Chain A
Amino acid sequence: MKFKTETNNSCFRFGLCLALAVGMLGCGNETLRFHLDMVWIRSNEDPEVAFQPEQLQNLSNVLGAVFGTPNKPHVLQDSDIGVEKLVNRDLLQLAAGPVWNDPQGKSHGLYRKHCAHCHGVSGDGAGSTAAYLNPYPRDYRRGIFKFKSTPKGEKPTNSDLEKTLLEGIPGTSMPSFVLLPDDEIAALVDYVKFLSIRGEVERNLVLELSDLEEGELLVSDETLEDGKELIQDAVSFVVNRWSRAESKVAIPAACPSSADPRTATGEEMERSITRGYHLFHGVIANCFTCHGETALGDGQLDLFDDWTEELQPKDPERHAELMSLAQRPQPARNLRPRNLRLGIYRGGRRPLDIYWRLINGIDGAKMPQVPMVDPNDPGKPGMSDSDLWDLINYVRSLPYETLSRPAYQSQTDHVQLTKPL
């Protein structure tokens, strides 16, 4: 104990303080906030005239006014716009803010507890663990969700988002949250919707900004009424899209009992699967072009999904800049058509889920809707309802199909199936 002199002690204390001071630098000197989508801002900048700092500050203020902060999200009080009909204020507050438990043991700050480390505080899909994941976490701000019951361009329903939370997304890093209580799931769904609305409104406002004259603000004292209208229009446009989601759900046609695995005989199932096999390789559904001749997902490998495509301008310098703004490591990852032989179905394995993938396409991921027959025009090539169920049965049988089955004759022989086999 003798060596601990006074000098040593004060040195030690000084060192400790210094260490703490160094450690705290950069922490907490800026409060947590929603960030601007700099990728989108940069991509929509006039090549000759950059956005002025005042314009972006104005944009940030507008977004702050409409959506609040991560600790105190705001639901715009305007019944004509109706944000409050989409997201529940109390649930939103339950999901927002820092993580804590109240004396009753109820969890608060659910988004930061469960989601933010991948999806980011702003919902930009660039949380601290995002860079290590493949595929990258979803950026909600585009307002595009892949696995839903509605077609491309429409929003997912509450139950679509719930399903993703409850079941997770197999084959990705999105785990299942099936053990969370119902109100927590509802709170997270509302918060994800809120972040998505915020992000999409921001994108639309940036587009408006890029259409304004040089240096003009979205809303200023001189343009009060026009600015107000512009902001209201931008918010209500996105809100309307979300409100109508429920009415856009694709309702599947009845599945004939001979193609329903629960009722069909073994022989009927086999016939259905064989028909599906021909449809898969036919020029109406064209599945093979992307998913490959053997359904291993190797048909079309050089595309990007909508989120990554945005980071691919032709100019390599600009590309590098956008990649780093988006916090995505190089090189950008290509979009992979699903390998259908793995038995991993990201949007769910139920026939209903696969029906939705086929009839709606996959938003953000290039998968198109299948063409359907037209009852008024017998000449139009397309799929009938029962064709769809056959194709679904074939897709669902692919993980069990023997690999020694010879390849479909050849690429030039892709036939159009006209008669049931």
Chain B
Amino acid sequence: MLVPILGVWVFVSAAFNWWPFSGGALAFPGEHWLPHDISVHGVVIDGLYYFILAVTGAIFIATTVAMFWFLLRYDGRQNATPVKFIHGSHTLEVIWSVLPAVTLLFIAIFQMNAWSDVKIQRPLQSVGPDGEQGTLDDVFLPPLLEVTGRQFEWKIRYPGEDQEFDTPDDIHLVNDLHIPVDEEIVIAIKSDDVLHSFFLPNVRLKQDVVPGMKQYIWFEATETGTFDIVCAELCGWGHYKMKGRLTVESREDFERWLGQKYKAQETNQLSLELAER
């Protein structure tokens, strides 16, 4: 009895921001809706989430109310009429099969673009000589950096001045990821050891990182500031340690920062190291 009542209460109080979601004793701390969104595509993802939440919420409340109604309406102490058993109703079965099927199909079709934008259609640098998108001569936007998951940290590598990885001017960092704001960013993600999941909550981006497989993720951040990087796949005892920091900043700031990091990496004098601190 308690479970459906609590369930409905959670839904309603969350929607109207009542206790325990705000104020009062034993209230849940912090924000209970999705974290602040800083990405271009995030609004679509959030919209889908909220749409699905609304649909499932409405169905959940309706089902619960119906169940209660039946419980009360056919209480044995108030009803002397014997129970009548129905063995199947073709019409009802068609209705409760077709309605969800249509809803699911709708969601599947409705979200297709979102999925394709976020996960399939990697941004292009140019469409190639033939002037047509989706052909073999398309040139993909090269990754700005590479993130490698390792028990238990995120290794970050920028290609350096020559824009090429695996050259001596690569810039190596750990857990500290910087990107320019208002630009489409591609990141190559890899794993050194086990399954990790590279998760940028504020960018609405989460991708499993598979050992032996190089994948690309892309997004555009619209706000400057620092945000979290977390691992969303239980990757071992130190999984909780895999926290990183995403800093979104202006192109100038980003380039200045990257230049500093390169200089720091080439430090060959103690005085220079002391000056850095």
Residues of A within 8 A of B (CB): 114, 117, 129, 132, 149, 159, 167-168, 170, 173, 175-176, 178-179, 249, 251-252, 254-255, 260-262, 349-352, 355, 389, 392, 396-397, 400
Which A residues are in CB contact (< 8 Å) with B152? 173, 175
Segment with Cβ contacts to A, from B62-70, B75-83, B98-106, B167-175: B167-175
Question: Could you show 5 A-B contacts with beta carbons less than 8 Å apart?
Answer: A129-B238, A176-B174, A179-B175, A351-B266, A352-B270
Q: Residues of B within 8 Å of A, CB-based: how many?
A: 30
Q: A252-B268, A350-B267 are in contact. Are A178 and B174 (CB under 8 A)?
A: yes
Least CB separation from B172: chain A residue:
A349
B277 touches A400 (CB 8 A): no
Give the contacting residue for B244; candidates A179, A351, A355, A392; CB below 8 A: A179
B163: A residues at CB distance < 8 A: none
| The residue from B153, B263, B265, B269 contacting A255, defined by CB atoms under 8 A apart | B269
Closest to A249 in B: B270
Q: Does B85 contact A (CB under 8 A)?
A: no
CB–CB B267/A400 < 8 A: no
Residue of B nearest to A389 (CB): B268
A117 CA / B238 CA spacing, docked (Å):
10
Q: Which residues of A contact B174 (CB under 8 A)?
A: 167-168, 170, 175-176, 178
* A178 with B176, Cβ < 8 A, contacts A397-B168, A400-B166, A400-B167 known: yes
Q: Given the complex of chains A and B, what is the CA–CA distance between A132 and B151 in angstroms?
A: 12
> Hey, which chain A residues are within 8 Å of B266, CB to CB?
260-262, 350-351
Bound CA–CA A397/B243 (angstroms): 31
4 other A-B residue contacts (CB within 8 Å) besides A349-B172, A392-B268: A114-B241, A251-B270, A261-B266, A352-B272
Give bound CA distance, A17 to B178, whole Å. Answer: 54
CB distance B175 to A252 under 8 Å? no
- Least CB distance, A417 to chain B, in whole angstroms: 22
> Considering the chains assembled together, what is the distance between the CA atoms of A159 and B243 in angstroms?
23
CA distance A114 to B176 in the complex (A): 19
- A352 B267 Cβ-Cβ under 8 A: yes
CB distance from A161 to the nearest CB of B (A): 14
Q: Is the CB of A179 within 8 A of B243?
A: yes
Question: Nearest 8 pairs between A and B by C-beta?
Answer: A351-B268, A176-B174, A175-B153, A255-B268, A350-B267, A352-B267, A175-B152, A176-B153
Contacts of A350 in B (CB 8 A): 264-268
A181 to chain B, nearest CB (A): 12
User: Is B206's beta carbon under 8 Å from chain A?
Assistant: no
How far, in whole Å, are A129 and B172 apart by their CA atoms in the complex?
A: 28
B16 at the interface (CB under 8 A from A): no
CA A396 to CA B268, docked complex, whole Å: 13
Evaluate contact between B243 and A254: CB separation under 8 angstroms: no
Most buried by B among A132, A254, A350: A350
Q: Across the interface, do A352 and B269 meet the contact criterion of CB distance under 8 Å?
A: yes
A132 to chain B, nearest CB (A): 8
* Alpha-carbon gap, A198 to B192, bound state (A): 36
A173 touches B270 (CB 8 A): no
Interface residues of chain B, those whose CB is within 8 Å of chain A, are 151-153, 155, 166-169, 172, 174-176, 237-238, 241-245, 263-270, 272-273, 277
Complex contacts, B167 vs chain A, CB 8 Å: 400
A114 to B175, CA, bound (A): 16
Residues on the B chain within 8 Å of A159, using CB = 273, 277
Complex CA–CA separation, A132 to B236 (angstroms): 11
CB distance from A37 to the nearest CB of B (A): 26
Residue of A nearest to B155 (CB): A170
**Shortest distance between the CB of A326 and any CB in chain B (Å):** 21
Complex: chain A residue closest to B153, CB-CB: A175
Given contacts A178-B174, A179-B243, A351-B267, whether A396 and B168 have CB atoms under 8 Å apart is yes
Q: How far is the CA of A321 from the CA of B149 in the complex (A)?
A: 38
CB within 8 Å for A254 and B166 given contacts A159-B277, A175-B238: no
Give Cα A262–Cα B270 distance, bound, in whole angstroms.
Answer: 16
The reply to whether B268 and A129 form a contact with Cβ atoms under 8 Å apart is no
Interface centre among B152, B244, B245, B270 (most CB of A within 10 A): B270
Which residue of chain A has the shortest Cβ distance to B266 in the bound complex?
Answer: A262
Chain A residues closer than 8 Å to B268, beta-carbon distance: 252, 255, 260, 350-352, 355, 389, 392
Q: In the complex, what residues of B have CB within 8 A of residue A170's CB?
A: 155, 174
Write out the residue numbers on chain A whose beta carbons fall within 8 Å of the beta carbon of B238: 129, 173, 175
Q: How far is the CB of B29 from chain A (nearest CB, A)?
A: 11
Report A-chain residues with C-beta under 8 Å of the C-beta of B153. 168, 175-176
Q: Which residues of B contact A400 (CB under 8 A)?
A: 166-168
A117 to B265, CA, bound (A): 31
- Whether the Cβ atoms of A179 and B168 lie closer than 8 Å is no
- Please, which residue of chain B has its CB at the minimum distance from the CB of A259? B268
- A254 in contact with B151 (CB, 8 Å): no
Task: Report chain B residues within 8 Å CB of A252.
Answer: 268-270
Q: What is the chain A residue whose CB lies nearest that of B263?
A: A262
Smallest beta-carbon distance B27→chain A, Å: 17
Complex formed: what's the CA distance from A29 to B189 in Å? 47
Chain B positions within 8 Å of A168 at CB level: 153, 174
Select from chain B the residue with minimum beta-carbon distance to A251. Answer: B270
User: A350 CA to B171 CA in the complex, in Å?
Assistant: 11
The answer to whether B244 and A349 touch across the interface, beta carbons within 8 angstroms, is no
Instruction: With both chains docked as a complex, state the minimum distance between the C-beta of B90 and any C-beta of chain A, in angstroms.
Output: 37
CB-defined contacts of A261 to chain B, threshold 8 Å? 168-169, 266
Q: What residues of chain A lie closer than 8 Å to B273, measured between beta carbons?
A: 159, 352
Q: Give B265's nearest chain A residue, CB to CB.
A: A350
CA distance A73 to B155 in the complex (A): 35
| Residues of chain B lying within 8 A (CB to CB) of residue A179 | 175-176, 243-245
> How long is the Cα–Cα vector from A252 to B268 in the complex, in angstroms?
8
Name the residue of chain A whose CB is nearest to the CB of B176.
A178
Cβ contacts under 8 Å, B175 to chain A: 176, 178-179
How distant is the Cα of A211 from the Cα of B244 in the complex, in angstroms? 51
CB distance from A34 to the nearest CB of B (A): 24
Q: Known contacts being A129-B237, A168-B174, is A254 close to B269, with CB within 8 Å?
A: yes
Q: Which of A249, A351, A352 has the most CB of B within 10 A?
A: A352
